[in-house]
Amino acid sequence: MRSDHTTNRLEHDMNTVLPRVRRTTGHTMSRAVLALALVASAGCSTDKILKVDRPDIIDPGGLSNATGVTALYAGVIGDFSFLNAGTLGVISATGLLTDEFRFGATPPEVRQMDQRAAPESNTLVAQFYLQTQMLRGQADRASAALKAVSATDPRVGEMEAMSGYAHIMLGEMFCSGVPLGTPGVDGTPQTTTAVLQAGVTKLTAAVTSAGSDDRAKNFASVLRGRGLLDLGLTDQAAAAVASVPTSFSYTTLHSLASDYQKNGFQDYMNSNDGILVSDREGTNGLNFATALDPRVPVTGDGSPSAFDKQTPRWYYANATSFTSPMPIVTGVEARLIEAEAALKANNISLWLSKLNAARAPWGMAAVTDPGTATARVDLMFRERAFALFASGHRLGDLRRLVRQYGRGAESVYPTGAYHKDGLQLGTDLQFIIPLTEKNNPNFTGCIDRN
């Protein structure tokens, strides 16, 4: 993935000049693109920038040529990286709500997420909800602008895939009722199924638009398989990813050029003990920290956090610096999707073959059939948990275990006593759509939290 963003540097330098423009529909203009547009319109004069009367208004003509659409494209790529690997982005948030990470510091709003008890007033949940809606809107805008310049530009497919990704994450992370608005039009609440279906539609188009660009096509194909898996369409999901090589990886890239471009996830983990690898969290959690599995390498000795003096310190060793890349969509996921489809079809030999193909990149020994239907599902989701660790997949998987496999929620999610402060874990199965969405007159709250 390319991440050389002049726009991102501008975004950082102009934080105090350019407000983030928000619509209740979730369509937010990225500051990166706003900054670039303002610099272009002001002739790169800081004085003129400071005198702009309406910094939230962009001349559409300035973004309808090759240079302008490239700026839009770059802004979306930056927003994708920031959404996933920001300080409290998708990786952190989904890991805290599930059994991937524990919170080792003190701010109460982060603890609420880790505790499965984040209210609709939680401003951090509102932040990554807004960022996800922003990515959806900006990706749609970029794909339309790119297509207007050149209908055969493969970046059209990549931007359509970005929009599809945002839809999938809105469906996986939040309760039923997410509005999907368009610029100038407040969205109406959609069921989780409808949000996922809208994402799959975007991703189907993305595969076609990617043309001969294998990177964009593989990116869209795996995401399409993920959406179909969320919808319970396992055979279609397997077909969607069949051509994706196991070696494929679509990865966030980071640099030191600005806070926006840094890997903020690792900073909150390593500098603040805020995000620590869990181990058997809440009775049901997997032994991520102590399994000695090469897919989840850890450092640390389990000694108490320097901040709360309680949470065991285990750090994720694949994220150790501001420039650490984070794989989000991979060919390994494609093999795991195929494996789950084979398991659903009761083709045990093919299931094991696909599971072991997914283990091959780490040189791991082959798994064998555990012998019962329940144990096979346990193994399937354990393999997904370790192979897809810290990539934003675990919450969707826990929800699918409840929704598609009939598991009781409190037999899947961390439950019982919280690991500190004498508290109990809550009962959230996903994040509640934040209070800020009630600025949208069509929205009154979650349709349901099943």
pLDDT tens track for 113-172: 999 999 999 999 999 999 999 999 999 999 999 999 998 999 999 999 999 999 999 999
Report the distance separating Cα 253 and Cα 307, nearest Å: 29
Burial per residue of 62-75, b for 16 or more beta-carbon CB atoms within 10 angstroms, e otherwise: ebeeeebbbbbbbb
Report the distance separating Cα 92 and Cα 235, nearest Å: 31
Mean pLDDT of 418-435: 96
Of the candidates 403, 387, 296, 386, the residue with the CA atom closest to the CA atom of residue 334: 387
Mean pLDDT of 70-93: 92
Per-residue pLDDT, 49:
30
The pLDDT of residue 435 is above 60: yes
Least reliable range by pLDDT among 179-183, 204-208, 348-352: 179-183
The pLDDT of residue 86 is above 80: yes
- Give this prediction's pTM: 0.86
Report the distance separating Cα 69 and Cα 407, nearest Å: 46
Question: What whole-number percentage of the chain has pLDDT above 90?
Answer: 74
Report the distance separating Cα 237 and Cα 208, nearest Å: 16
Report the distance separating Cα 189 and Cα 444, nearest Å: 9
Average pLDDT, the chain: 86
pLDDT band at 448 (very low <50, low <70, confident <90, very high): very high
Q: Tokens in use for 9?
A: 């540097």
Q: Tokens in use for 187?
A: 């969205």
pLDDT band at 268 (very low <50, low <70, confident <90, very high): confident
Task: Report which listed range, 29-38, 185-194, 269-278, is most confident.
Answer: 185-194
Asked if 306 and 105 touch (Cβ cutoff 8 Å), the reply is: no
Asked if 32 and 11 touch (Cβ cutoff 8 Å), the reply is: yes
Per-residue pLDDT, 64:
67
Higher pLDDT, 361 or 262: 361
Per-residue pLDDT, 217:
98
State how far the alpha carbon of 239 is from the alpha carbons of 123, 228, 236, 333, 335, in Å. 40, 10, 5, 13, 11
Per-residue pLDDT, 61:
57
Per-residue pLDDT, 274:
86
Spell out the residues 6+ positions from residue 60 whose beta carbon is closer than 8 angstroms to its own. Answer: none
Helix (H, G, I), strand (E, B) or coil at 436: helix
Mean pLDDT of 417-445: 95
Provide the residue type at 434 as one letter.
P
Per-residue pLDDT, 52:
33
pLDDT tens-digit profile of 15-32?
A: 322 222 233 333 333 333
pLDDT tens-digit profile of 276-327?
A: 999 999 999 999 999 999 999 999 999 999 888 999 999 999 998 888 999 9
Report the distance separating Cα 78 and Cα 90, nearest Å: 14
Per-residue pLDDT, 60:
53
